[in-house]
Structure 1
Amino acid sequence: MRRRLMANNEEHHDASKSMRLKKSLKGFFSKKEMTKNFRLIDKSIVLITTLLVVIGLISVFSATMYGNPISAITTQSLSVVIGVTIIGIMLVVPFELFKNIRLILLMMTILIVLLGYTLATQESVWGATSWFLVLGVSFQPSEFVKVIGILVISWLIKYYDREVILTKRKLPNWINVNNAAIASLVISWFLILLQPDLGMLIILTVTLGLIFLLTKGSLKWNVIAYSVVFVGYLLLTIIGRQFGDWLVSKDFHMFERIASFIDPFRYSSDSGYQIIQGLMAFSRGGWFGMGLGEGVSKQGALPVIESDYILANIAEELGLIGVLVVVGLLFSLIVIIYQRAAASTELYRKSVLIGVASLLLVQSVINIGGVVSILPLTGVTLPFISYGGTSMIAMLSAIGLALRMIVEEGKEPNINLVYSKQKGE
């Protein structure tokens, strides 16, 4: 009986959803609604993100000044403009669109097609087939899989049980939205594995795993998951130390990185070269750096310094103080979003906020860990700082998601459950 009542309620909910969407669309350009949304924006998130983007633009210009800085800064600035535009759109479109699983799966399907196209037609760059050119600019579909994946897993966490009940009344068990959502995650994960893009794979897996653990996972499952990560890291270090020569001899990019992060000086002329140059950049920078634009690593010693090694350039030119400022801003942003998630009163919004914070956390840790040689190099960018148009747009889109979830939280009525005995309330 309870299940039938739940199903009937959900059917009524679905029937009224289109009416609410039509009503929302009518108010799409409502000045009052737009003003309200922008008034509820989390100013601290906007401020920190802006500071990080500005630091990133300056760092990219400095890192590419011996190459083509105008082209690099133009591309990066255009990506910022596109990302900010996406944030603006996210703040004014009807909120129902963010929970529309058909729209979410449509976007995921497009990304899966682009992943397949990239894998089938493009050549390997730095050990992975992850990019293709659009109007002469490289585009990496997997960057957006991380963002849309957050929406997919958040939807599953919120609505999985409801769909199971409704499906049993309407369709065969294998035909349901739940299976389509899960399949989209599995297929995209598998295509990224085939590229192979180890860094992106780890980010996607750990981010989605953290969303589930922090919303649905019991203490037991959290302990198991974190123990697996710890044991996995220990095994990685043991394998790299004991079988490093064998891994390097296989001439496989991923294996070389596992071997070189343990002892880069052992492979100083090959896979360990970039790590050593990065550590030397940190050493030259000292506390206060050599001065903005005065670094020497970008003159050719450290390949692609503007991308995954941008932190080494900051360390060399602005010193440890500069690094601490960047890392401090990043982790302040992450903590703030986690705090907003903890205060959220609705499961879907909470899941999305956890996803955005976890994405920033995992990607930052992997990038910084690779630069200082406590993790294997994976080629992932430092959020908002590294050169990379697709990465910048994806990260700003993730911030847009977080801001919109917080805006919707701000619209929830505050219910005061504290009663005053004196006033008899």
Structure 2
Amino acid sequence: MAAARKPLALRTPRKPRNPLAGRFPRWLADESGGRTRPVIFAVVLTLAGIGLVEVASASSVESVAAGINPYDLPLKQGLWTLAGVVIMFVLAGLPVRHIRKLAWPMLILSLIGLGLVFTPLGMTVNGNRNWLNAGGFTAQPSEFAKLALIVWGAAVLSRKEALLRQWKHAVVPLLPAGAVIAALVALGHDLGTTLIIMMIIAATLFYGGVPMKVLGVAGGIGAGAALVLAATSGNRMGRIFSWLGMGSTEDSQGLGYQALNGQYALASGGWFGVGLGQSREKWNWIPEAHNDFIFTILGEELGLAGTLLVLGLFAILAVAVFKTITRTEDTFARIVSCGIITWIIGQAIINIAMVSGLLPVIGVPLPFISYGGSAMVSSLAGIGMILAVTRTNQSDRPSLRGRGTIRKPPVPEPARTS
């Protein structure tokens, strides 16, 4: 007689087919994260596209006034965006072990770059000495230092995971290295980037599982350092006092000039804006309209609807990344992913709060939207690393190396009847 069919309880369940399978590269859509990873990719490209359009709009008037090609800055931004997307693709396809191996080289190169800022290769822009200029090529090492600190901190904390309950292992060497990077940036008078680096250090410690007591002490020290940096600069204190009394007639032409005109731009945008390219405040009323204050031009031209669109995209990006992180149990991957998304979303919140008057002007760009090649490339590289470390279809996971191949237990065959 023919063999009896397997009982339903003993049949191997068929894995449901991923509807996105075959439509995206393997690193972008795997069986466990096929729905969220393309969302991350699409949101980032959408934000970068909005940034290119707004950079072209916000910079055209000042470029014409300066006698240069009005498309010069958007073309440069487009090239940097293209380079960043390529880097994102390359990094997203790397195994986790390769990302881990980049930790020390990235940290060392960042420290070298931050040190070169104070040599003849350094360049001062708007009072901040945080640029390198070599043969007409400019770069901002502090932007890449943010990403380097996250990856290196994740490598250190994941290796010392069993010892993090002891405060000396929790803070050494992460805090000393982070303090050196923050100090080098602060010496260049860039308080905004210094605060972002402090936020990154706190996020890395938190997601690494460092005890809250240690994190609280480190946070107190960081807050004290930030207050000292603000109190020792007349310009910074002036901005704080201007923020506290923003809108006063005596400050309308002083330190509050930029913030006040940014408020005017957002207010004049109404519900749906005055039209793309039709901003009036960009006519030399808002300094750095294409950079730190580009959100005000966006709000004026696209109105409340445009600003809510950008806020919604950042919210979707955060939810998608954290949803992807929940699928990984690797400590290094968790710290890298959470640290990078905290940096990007935290910096976006600070920038938007700054230009809308909720915070004093401290000078940080809006990720993916503000003009700046270094910021764009480092942010896109960070997204590429998130996609790399959260990819679940890797055959070389560290937890499986040296342990042989894990095989499923055999399913017992039912007795044959004759």
TM above 0.5, yes or no, is: yes
Unaligned runs of 5+ in 1: 1-31, 165-173, 241-246
Q: Does 1:195 pair with 2:188?
A: yes
Aligned pair in 2 of structure 1 residues 161, 200: CA closer, same or farther (>3 Å)? Answer: same
Is the CA contact (8 Å cut-off) linking 1:158 and 1:347 kept in structure 2?
yes
SS for the counterpart of 1:385 is coil
Q: 1:399 to 1:251 in 2, by over 3 A?
A: closer
Deviations 1:335-374 (A, max 9, x none): 2212222332111101111011101121111101110111
Question: SS state of the match for residue 299, structure 1?
Answer: coil
Find the aligned partners of 2:180 and 2:261 in 1 and give their Cα distance.
37
Cα 1:353–1:123 change in 2 (3 A) is closer
Residue in 2 aligned with 1:214?
A: 207
Equivalent residue for 1:169? none
Shift of the 226–338 alpha-carbon distance from structure 1 to 2, 3 Å rule, reads farther
Query: How many pairs are equivalent?
Result: 360
Q: Secondary structure at the match of 2:192?
A: helix
| 1:45 and 2:29 correspond | no
Q: What letter corresponds to residue 292 of structure 1 in structure 2?
A: L
Q: Distance between the aligned counterparts of 1:225 and 1:336, measured in 2? A: 32
Q: Equivalent residue of 1:132, what SS?
A: strand
For 2:327 and 2:218, locate their aligned partners in 1 and report how far apart those are by CA, in whole Å: 24
- 8 Å contact from structure 1 (residues 288, 318) kept in 2: yes
Identity across the alignment (%): 27
Question: What secondary structure sits across from 1:257 in the alignment?
Answer: helix
Structure-2 separation of matches of 1:210 and 1:225:
14
Within the candidate set 334, 340, 343, 1:356 is matched to 340
User: How far apart in 1 are the matches of 2:280 and 2:109?
Assistant: 42
Q: Can you give the 5+ residue segments of structure 2 that lack an aligned partner in the other structure?
A: 1-21, 64-68, 401-405
Q: Shift of residue 76 of structure 1? A: 0.4
Deviation (angstroms), 1:162: 7.3
CA distance in 1, matches of 2:319, 2:356: 23
Alignment of 1:5-404 (within 5 A): 36-40=26-30, 42-66=37-61, 67=63, 68-100=69-101, 103-121=102-120, 122-160=122-160, 183-218=176-211, 224=216, 252-266=234-248, 267-404=251-388
1:227, distance to aligned residue in structure 2 (A): 9.3
| Aligned counterparts of 1:221 and 1:107: Cα–Cα separation in 2 | 26
Change (3 A) 1:181 1:207: closer
Alignment of 1:409-420 (within 5 A): none
Distance between the aligned counterparts of 1:220 and 1:160, measured in 2?
A: 18
CA distance in structure 2 between the aligned counterparts of 1:317 and 1:221, rounded to whole angstroms: 46
Structure 1 residues 311 and 226: CA distance shift in structure 2, 3 A: farther
**Whole-angstrom distance in 2 between the partners of 1:320 and 1:221:** 42
Q: Which amino acid aligns with 2:158?
A: K
Given that 1:109 and 1:184 are in contact with CA atoms closer than 8 Å, whether structure 2 keeps it comes out as no
CA contact (8 A) 1:290 1:317 kept: yes
What amino acid is aligned across from residue 79 of structure 1 in structure 2? W
Q: Which whole-Å CA distance do the structure 2 matches of 1:107 and 1:214 have between them?
A: 20
Check 1:379–1:157 CA distance in 2 against 1; reply closer, same or farther (3 A cut): same
Farther-moved stretch of structure 1 (212-221 vs 66-75): 212-221
Tell me which protein shows more helix as a share of its residues.
1
Change beyond 3 A, Cα 1:320–1:410 = farther
**TM-score between the two structures when normalised by the length of structure 1:** 0.76
Deviations 1:273-292 (A, max 9, x none): 00000000011101111000
Change (3 A) 1:112 1:194: same
Q: CA deviation at 1:160?
A: 2.1
TM-score normalised by the chain length of structure 2: 0.77
After superposition, the C-alpha distances for 1:7-65 in whole angstroms (9 at most, x for unaligned) are: xxxxxxxxxxxxxxxxxxxxxxxxx9x95324437101001111111111111111112
Amino acid across the alignment from 2:274: M
Amino acid at match of 2:148: I
> Structure 1 residues 124, 252: CA separation in 2 closer, same or farther (over 3 Å shift)?
farther
Change (3 A) 1:271 1:156: same
The residue number in structure 2 matching 1:19 is: none
Q: CA deviation at 1:181?
A: 6.0
SS of the residue 1:129 aligns to: strand
SS at match of 1:69: coil
Q: Which amino acid aligns with 1:133?
A: N
Secondary structure, counterpart of 2:370 in structure 1: coil
What CA deviation, in whole Å up to 9, does each residue of 1:94-124 have, x standing for no partner? 4322112xx4222221221111111233353
Cα distance in 1, alignment partners of residues 70 and 291 from structure 2: 13
Residues 268 and 140 of structure 1, relative CA distance in 2, 3 Å threshold: same
Aligned residues of 1:143 and 1:391 also touching (Cα < 8 A): yes
Q: How big is the alpha-carbon RMSD for the aligned residues of Structure 1 and Structure 2?
A: 3.5
Amino acid at match of 1:335: V
